[in-house]
Structure 1
């Protein structure tokens, strides 16, 4: 049976937390395995937002600062490892693996304490004094620093981006609408609701939506008809067509072909699997891709390694 280590996350935006949670759920299938837990007191390792003092304080109060990987520009004395932004999940995974590997080389010490003691000289500056953080690589042209923001990470947005994308969910079921709203809000999106295809078309003329999550089976215009109308709409100047994601309990190849012919960009089946939702957002949302460098590739790698293990 492979060893499993518990990881908690302190600080960060709701968008980032949701991504960490989904990523570590996939990492639970690999070796060594990592299990996401909500409380730092239960964790073997803590991932803390170095730029949020309350997050670092929470890890310290729980006695987990010496077991923490702190991410951000603000130096944190006493942390096991400090990493710069932008967040690179594969680099974080390799860092945790190194801590675990070092703990196995020193079996007489408790696993986490040994990992921190052994890995600190190699992966971070000595903690006796505030660590010297190497300057991050130059930002690409147009990248904006949102360091003053307490709710969104640095190095995520570029000029012209909004902090939160607007998403439209279309379904004639109130239960389904609320379900999707709760899931998408966890990623920091602003979620708007429409109860028919006709209402969705009206809303799309009013503002820009990055995504439209569209149920197939609806009264009046069904999802296929609505998708066709969306893709053929003459939008006001400056607007771009949204990514249309079809939602349905139908899983046959014929239904997927119908969705493709209607012009949809992605097809998700009910009941919704959160990892698939993360994958779709990661494939189609540029802000997501910049904020979590190599995230989609990381998820694929973790899944492949789990399958091979």
Structure 2
């Protein structure tokens, strides 16, 4: 913790311009060697970014490494879930089937993959059939993005953080070794907790970026210290169990505090250089993404804790 706080408070708050995803990755990789915890890399990556889009990229990469701890920091990853019917387990039509000589085949399409065209390794959610209740049995497959049968088509840039590429993924008779299928249920172990894990790490990167902007723009000490306190809170939540309803409620409250702090910055943005301010106005819509999902997660967590409380009476 102390090393991270010293970094956020004493590192030179003058990020070099990042002109591409490759520039971002070079800097992110350097920071990964300084901090052993993915969430600390998210903070540091946000602090070192010249815009919110590249801060997001560091948060996203760090979230995947936190979700799957065996992932090496040296590779770029993309989680491939969403299909034309959405990201719900019932919508998954990408199939993992048995092939000859003990290998498996992966077949299907993913409609929207964040960082898909920049990834070295793809983490693909696929069904291996249905259980007795007719529900998809999902698995997560770790796959080299350059393997034969893998087709990545970059999509048009999004209105905000357009520097972060998104892609459509096609998979045709892609050969998969059994050891490339990660252990555990693909939905319960990976997809379901990822929104919580991602929120922790994306907001960590946002707070790192805001602390950098605050320091180089001369924002009041009180504002910087509030951002630092929120960073400590988010770091603790990122290291907690994402499946815990109590953690999910605490995260909901922490995100509310972050948003209120951001909304309260007001005229302080007038002290920020014009290019950074313009990029922020374009990209701040990122904070509204997945609002309905977060609201549903919060309500579900409240219900579970209420049930637990009644059971303990």
TM-score by length of 2: 0.28
**Larger Rg: 1 or 2?**
1
Q: Which has the higher helix share?
A: 2
Does 1 or 2 have the higher relative contact order (CA < 8 Å, sep 6+)?
Answer: 2
